[in-house]
């Protein structure tokens, strides 16, 4: 949703709250909606888009991920010594 749409929904919730005609369960849900929208909008204000005020991204070098051969078979588990105590979760 865009900022304008979020603000429109918040204004609608505020209008519902201002009438005082909503049942208590609905009033509570409108309050949660308003608080959530306020938090989202505040978060949008706190974050600047990557295109604004950011230095140019350095060109990437030819580094890429590469596959590495596994040294162990996936079907074998590491063995523990028989006299070694087993740690159980608390």
Q: What is the pLDDT of residues 28-39, one digit of tens each?
A: 999 999 999 999
* Contact of 34 with 16, CB cutoff 8 Å: no
* pTM higher than 0.85: no
Q: Can you tell me the distance from the alpha carbon of 67 to that of 22, in angstroms, rounded to the nearest whole number?
A: 61
* Residue where the block lists tokens 């949660």: 32
C-alpha angle 60-66-69 in degrees, rounded to nearest 5: 165
The two structure tokens encoding residue 54? 């950011």
**Angle, CA 36 vertex, CA 42 and CA 11 arms, to 5°:** 85
Q: What is the pLDDT of residues 49-67, one digit of tens each?
A: 665 555 566 666 667 777 7
């Amino acid at each position: 949703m865009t900022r304008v749409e979020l603000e429109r929904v918040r204004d609608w919730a505020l209008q519902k709250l201002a009438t005082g005609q909503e049942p208590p369960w609905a009033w509570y849900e409108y309050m949660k909606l308003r608080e959530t929208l306020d938090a989202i909008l505040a978060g949008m204000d706190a974050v600047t888009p990557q295109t604004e005020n950011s230095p140019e991204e350095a060109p990437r070098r030819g580094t890429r991920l590469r596959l590495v051969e596994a040294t162990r078979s996936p079907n074998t588990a590491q063995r523990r010594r028989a006299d070694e105590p087993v740690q159980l979760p608390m």
